[in-house]
């Protein structure tokens, strides 16, 4: 009798303090009043993804925790700040609306790169896209991916908006469960920097 393997949808991330998430939600309230067909990230789900892992066998979770511990112990706590709203790939063909990182970008990139190297050593497939630190705040539902003029105007006005900074002291392994009301995130493991 064969036992069925259990899989979890996982990612590594930086969890954002509540005061910064409140600043983000306050800012995007006016965007929500526009007729653009967007799916907004909920308050509790705002985070900065270091590496999306996708569907992973449950038995590999121990390895993923070990990777996180090894990576985090090499990096000291650092100041990290969020500033500016933009979109990928651009305003004409937008599919993701994001908030960028200002301070701490080099440290975030170093952590992401170290995670990637460790994952490859553990047999995970290498991520081809270059890591760009950002917090996804919305995705376009409309396949035409065209933003209205008022929305583009707001993006221009908020291109340098400051949302706050804090000392980043740990990084997390998070489980994502997809539901009809959106994903539900649960932190499985946190590892302290330094």
Q: State the catalytic residue, choosing from 118, 124, 134, 191.
A: 134
61 Cβ neighbours under 8 A, 6+ residues apart: 8, 10, 173, 188
Judge if the upstream peptide bond of residue 190 is cis by omega within 30 degrees of 0. no
- State how beta strands 78-88 and 162-168 pair: antiparallel
For 43, phi and psi rounded to 5 degrees?
-50, -50
**Would you call 76 exposed, middle or buried from its count of C-beta atoms within 10 A (0-12, 13-18, 19+)?**
exposed
CA 114 – CA 67 distance, rounded (Å): 9
Told to judge if 22 belongs to the known catalytic residues of this protein, a careful annotator would answer no
Told to judge if 73 belongs to the known catalytic residues of this protein, a careful annotator would answer no
Could you give the C-alpha distances from 69 to 151, 178, 179, in angstroms and in order?
41, 27, 30
Nearest to 12 by CA among 116, 93, 155: 116
Q: State the catalytic residue, choosing from 8, 23, 47, 68.
A: 47
Sign, Cα dihedral of 89, 109, 85, 190: positive
Catalytic residues: 47, 134
């Amino acid at each position: 009798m064969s036992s069925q393997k259990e899989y979890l949808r996982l990612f590594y991330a930086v969890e954002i303090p509540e005061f910064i998430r409140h600043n983000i939600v306050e800012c995007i309230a006016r965007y929500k009043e526009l007729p653009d067909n967007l799916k907004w990230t909920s308050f509790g789900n705002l985070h900065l993804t270091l590496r999306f892992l996708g569907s992973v066998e449950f038995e590999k979770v121990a390895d993923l925790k070990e990777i996180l511990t090894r990576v985090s112990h090499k990096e000291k706590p650092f100041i990290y700040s969020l500033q500016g709203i933009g979109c990928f790939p651009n305003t004409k063909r937008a599919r993701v609306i994001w908030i960028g990182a200002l301070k701490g970008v080099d440290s975030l990139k170093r952590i992401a790169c170290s995670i990637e190297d460790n994952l490859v050593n553990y047999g995970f497939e290498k991520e081809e896209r270059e890591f760009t630190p950002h917090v996804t705040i919305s995705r376009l539902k409309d396949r035409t991916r065209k933003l209205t003029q008022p929305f583009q105007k707001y993006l221009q006005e908020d291109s340098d908006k400051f949302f706050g900074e804090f000392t980043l002291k740990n990084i997390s392994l998070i489980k994502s469960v997809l539901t009809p009301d959106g994903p539900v995130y649960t932190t499985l493991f946190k590892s302290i920097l330094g």
